[in-house]
Amino acid sequence: MARPRIALFVLEALPNARVVRRLVADYRADIAFVGLSNAERPSSGGLTGQIRRHLARSGAGILPYLAVNFGLPDLLRPLAPLTQAAAGSGDAPEATPLKTLCRRLGIPTLSIDDVNGPEVAQRLREAAPDLILTYHFDQILKPETIGLARLGGINGHPGLLPRHRGPVPTIHALAEGPGSFGMTLHRLAATIDTGAILAQEFVPLPPGTTATRAAVALHAHGRGLLDGLLDTIARTGAMPEGRTTAVLPYCPFPDRAMLASLRRRGLRLTDGQDLREALSLSGTVR
């Protein structure tokens, strides 16, 4: 059987950037198009509205995490040609912003304000992908959107579902303690992170790992799981049924009390090593 045609939806940021770029380069013949989420879309309140919400819920302690994971990669992306030249990384996929990489590879891209809007629906109907893959994507697909792909969809979640479902599972795993980190691939469903589990592995991480570094490591680990799953789909022509589980409570962005507890225990959302990685994201190859 032929490998499935994929519509890939991502929010390019520190946790997923290198692994997704490599994925796109390796699967270039199988990717129908790449949907790039607009993190500052009006429906989410724009940049100012989002910062206000984060400050109201989490306080100023969340700002370094947001800056390293999202802010710096976004701000520095236009400088990639200069940083690549300075680092000698040339056209290496891992060091090339995703939109630029897709243009080089001849893969169409779409900037997405509303993943359930008419523009995305039209693109899915025209491209007729076999499946949708979301790999660090910040918008929730409705059933009718998922249904526009023949086999449905897969989501990569850097957590051990059904625990820690929500946008920042590595923060909740960090708070829970050692042995709480892992990677899950599951079917896309209308309710956040509740689809049947298709592949899952516990991933041991070294002491002192920040929530940021855990997210990077888990997304990278998920590449092996994803390759195996896509091979199974190519061989059988079908999406595995997966394993259903009980739905556990949703885990949102942390509140002030959680961040204070993490600080008292010497646990960090991000650190200088993560900052250096964010600064080098579009200039060097690891």
DSSP the chain: -PPPPEEEEE--STTTHHHHHHHHHHTGGGEEEEEEE-TT-GGGTHHHHHHHHHHHHH-GGGHHHHIIIIIHHHHHGGGHHHHHHHHT-TT-GGGS-HHHHHHHHT--EEEES-TTSHHHHHHHHHH--SEEEEES--SPPPHHHHTTSTT-EEEEESS-TTTT-SS-HHHHHHHH-TT--EEEEEE--SSTT-SPEEEEEE----TT--HHHHHHHHHHHHHHHHHHHHHHHHHHSS----B--PPPPP--S--HHHHHHHHHTT--S--HHHHHHHHTTTT---
Within a domain: 286: no
pLDDT at 88: 66
Domain count, the chain: 1
* Residue 3: both structure tokens together: 């490998």
Predicted pLDDT of residue 2: 85
Res 42: pLDDT: 85
Q: Mind listing the pLDDT tens digit for each residue in 88-99?
A: 666 799 999 999
CATH code of residue 42: 3.40.50.12230
Nearest-angstrom CA–CA distance, 98 and 205 = 27
Rounded Cα gap, residues 265 and 175, in angstroms: 9
Residue 85 is predicted with a pLDDT of: 63
Of 17, 34, 134, 33, the closest CA to residue 74 belongs to 17
Give domain status of residue 243, yes or no: yes
Is 51 a member of any domain?
A: yes
Angle at 175 between CA 48 and CA 49, to 5 degrees: 10
Separation of alpha carbons 38 and 44, rounded Å: 10
For residue 47, what pLDDT is reported?
A: 82
Give the span between the Cα atoms of 211 and 239, in whole angstroms.
31
* d(C-alpha 13, C-alpha 70), whole Å: 5
**CB burial class (10 A; 0-12, 13-18, 19+) of residue 125?**
exposed
What pLDDT does residue 90 have? 66
| Side-chain half-sphere CA neighbours of 134 within 13 A | 27
CB within 8 A of 2, min separation 6: which ones? Answer: 234
Q: Which residues of the chain have pLDDT under 50?
A: none
**How far apart are alpha carbons 44 and 192 in whole angstroms?**
17
Structural domain harbouring 161: 6-279
Cα–Cα distance between 262 and 268 in angstroms, integer? 7
**pLDDT reported for residue 46:** 85
